[in-house]
Structure 1
Amino acid sequence: MNNKLSPRHSVHRIFVVMIFGLFLLFLLLMLLFGARAYSVSVAGSQKNNNLYTASAYVTAKFRQHDTGTDQEIYCDTLGNSQALCMTDIIEGTKYITYIYLQDNNLKELFTAADTSPSPEMGTIIANLNDFRIQETSGHFYQITFQDCQGEQSSLVLHSGTP
C-alpha cells in the first residue's frame, strides 16, 4: 500500500496568497465605494435640510396664526431685515412673533408688542442666504428661501378663511 501524500508545491501557496489578496482588494474597494456613497447621501441631505426646515417651520407658524380672530399676519421690518410678523393675544397682552433673516440665519423672535425688539435676540431656525416675503392681493404671501449653496424654494400661503 502506498500511503504517500501528494507533495505540496510553492505554486499552491502562491495561489492561496493571491486569492486572499484579491479578497482584500475587493473588500477595500467595496469600503471605498460605500464611504463615497454615504458622504454623497449625507451632503445631499444637509443641502435640502435647511430649505425644508425653513419652509416647514414658516408654514406651520403661518397656519398656527391663521386660525383665530385675535391673530394677525403682516409684513414689517426688524432691524434692516424684512420680517414676517404674527400677533397673538395671551391673557389680554399682545405678543408678536417675528421671522426674519440676520447674518445668514433665519431667526424667530417672540416678544411683547410694547417692547422694542432687537434682531440679535432671535432664535436660529436654519442657515439661509436669502429670505424674502411679498404680500400680494387677496392676503396671499409669497415666501422665498435661498440656502447657502444657492438652491431656492418658494411657497405661497393664504391668510384668512377661504
Structure 2
Amino acid sequence: MKKNMESRHTVDMLFVVALLFLFAMGALMLIALGSSIYKRGVDTLTKSYDKRTAYAYITEKLRQYDEEGSITTDIFNQSGAIRIDTTIDDIPYVTYLYDYDGALMELFARADVGELPPEAGQKIMDIDDFVVATKGNGILEITITLKDGENLTFITAKRSGK
C-alpha cells in the first residue's frame, strides 16, 4: 500500500511538471509570434512614414512659396536641387532643397551671402538620392530614393498665376 502511494505521488508530480512545461512553451511561442507580428508592423509603418514625410515636406514647401518665378530647379553641391526665392521685409532669401551625405537637406539663407557649404543646411530625413527634373509649364518631377532602395516619384505643379 505504501509503495502504491509513493509511485502515485511521483506520477502526480511529473504530470504537474509536464503541464507547467507545456504552459511555459505555449507562452514563449505566443511571445515569439507576437514579437514577429509587431516587428512587421513597425517596419511597415516606418516605410510608410518615410514615404509620407518626403512627399509631404517637399510639396508643402513648394505650396508655401508658390509665387510666379520663385520656384526653380538649380545645381547645388554638384547635384540637382530645388531653389525657392522669397523676399521678407525687402530682403531677398533663398531656400535650397537638396541631397547631401545621404540626407534630404534644407538650406535657408540670405540671397546676398554668397555660396554656402552644403553641410550648413538642416537635415530633414535620410535618403539615398534626390533627383529633380523640370517638365515644362511649372511642372516638376521629383524622384527620391529612400534608404531601403525604394523609389518615390511624384509630379507637382506650381499653381501661382500672379
TM-score above 0.5, yes or no: yes
- Note if 1:151 corresponds to 2:150: yes
- Bigger helix share: 2
Q: TM-score, structure 2 length as denominator?
A: 0.87
The number of equivalent residue pairs is 154
Shift of 1:46: 2.7
Which whole-Å CA distance do the structure 1 matches of 2:96 and 2:153 have between them?
A: 19
Which runs of structure 2 are paired with 1:68-79 in the superposition (5 Å)? 68=67, 72-79=70-77
Shift of 1:126: 1.1
SS at match of 1:35: helix
SS at match of 2:29: helix
What per-residue deviation string (whole Å, max 9, x for no partner) do you get for residues 21-62 of structure 1? 100000011111112222222233333333321111001101
Q: 2:35 is matched by which residue type in structure 1?
A: A
Which runs of structure 2 are paired with 1:67-106 in the superposition (5 Å)? 68=67, 72-106=70-104
Does the 8 Å CA contact 1:78/1:118 hold for their aligned counterparts?
Answer: no
Q: What is the percentage of aligned positions where both structures have the same residue? A: 31
Which whole-Å CA distance do the structure 2 matches of 1:46 and 1:24 have between them?
A: 33
SS at match of 2:93: strand
- Note if 1:20 corresponds to 2:30: no
Which whole-Å CA distance do the structure 1 matches of 2:81 and 2:74 have between them?
A: 5
Which whole-Å CA distance do the structure 2 matches of 1:129 and 1:49 have between them?
A: 16
Which whole-Å CA distance do the structure 2 matches of 1:51 and 1:145 have between them?
A: 9
Does the 8 Å CA contact 1:107/1:124 hold for their aligned counterparts?
Answer: yes
SS at match of 1:114: coil
Shift of 1:88: 1.3
Shift of 1:16: 1.5
Does the 8 Å CA contact 1:140/1:157 hold for their aligned counterparts?
Answer: yes
Shift of 1:122: 0.5
- Note if 1:142 corresponds to 2:147: no
Q: 1:9 is matched by which residue type in structure 2?
A: H
Q: 2:29 is matched by which residue type in structure 1?
A: L
What per-residue deviation string (whole Å, max 9, x for no partner) do you get for residues 2-31 of structure 1? xxxxx6532222112111110000001111
Gaps of 5+ in 2: none
Gaps of 5+ in 1: 1-6
Aligned counterpart for 1:110 among listed residues 108, 111, 117: 108
Q: 1:148 is matched by which residue type in structure 2?
A: K
Q: TM-score, structure 1 length as denominator?
A: 0.87
Which whole-Å CA distance do the structure 2 matches of 1:161 and 1:122 have between them?
A: 27
